[in-house]
Chain A
Amino acid sequence: QVQLVESGGGLVKPGGSLRLSCAASGFTFSDYYMSWIRQAPGKGLEWVSYISSSGSTIYYADSVKGRFTISRDNAKNSLYLQMNSLRAEDTAVYYCARDPVTPGGRSGSSDYWGQGTLVTVSS
């Protein structure tokens, strides 16, 4: 069965860095786009970034552009999010999600999600 397992969250000081990982199993990872979505405590969902199946196409939300870097290792069935220059407003549960591919390209209809990993940015 499809599984996505995030790790790497924790407490970090403002200005610090953290690298999140998402281990995928149960499907052909290299066939799918992948996304990161976050949710601040008690708040709604916010899309963060997506990466194409090959890693050649990447997009970021304006709120993280220049600070976060998404990447993937298809040989390891893993997705990553490198987060630098962290701010208090980056505090959230971070989810990785699988995005199906259609003839037209990426479908943003994330059909499987991980359980999330909590990132807390605080001094």
Chain B
Amino acid sequence: DIQMTQSPSSLSASVGDRVTITCQASQDISNYLNWYQQKPGKAPKLLIYDASNLETGVPSRFSGSGSGTDFTFTISSLQPEDIATYYCQQYDNLLGDTFGQGTKLEIK
């Protein structure tokens, strides 16, 4: 199985701050890495697919980068509506998919 190590597990930041979350894969996953946002009581929402592609309709303050084993998710200017838990996910059609442990983002 491919393991995903996401950090930090929680994060407190102020409105307007730049926020960064990282995800490390236990082996090379190329760019098969997605980022999701989940608000309480809601289903996850796809934000970034294939490491760096912004899903249609997602604000441009969200971005992703990386390839191989190390990936980064960034919110360039935190907004109040960004309060949520964020998950990275690798997908492998032979080994199956794996999610990171999640990062709970709060407003300071």
Contact = CB atoms under 8 A, between A and B. Distances in A.
Nearest to A46: B99
Contact of A108 (B1, B34, B100, B102): B34
Interface string A105-121: 11111110111100000
Classify chain A's interface size: 20 to 34
B71 interface: no
Given A62-B1, A108-B34, A47 B49 contact: no
A116 B43 contact: yes
Nearest to B43: A113
Given A44-B102, A45-B89, A62-B1, A108 B97 contact: yes
Contact of A95 (B43, B87, B96): B43
Given A45-B44, A113-B43, A113-B44, A108 B99 contact: no
A113 B55 CA distance: 14
Interface residues of B, number: 26
A23 B50 CA distance: 27
B77 to A, nearest CB: 25
A106 B91 CA distance: 9
A83 to B, nearest CB: 17
A95 B41 CA distance: 12
A2 to B, nearest CB: 12
Interface of B: 1, 32, 34, 36, 38, 43-46, 49-50, 55, 87, 89-94, 96-102
Interface of A: 35, 37, 44-47, 50, 59-62, 95, 105-111, 113-116
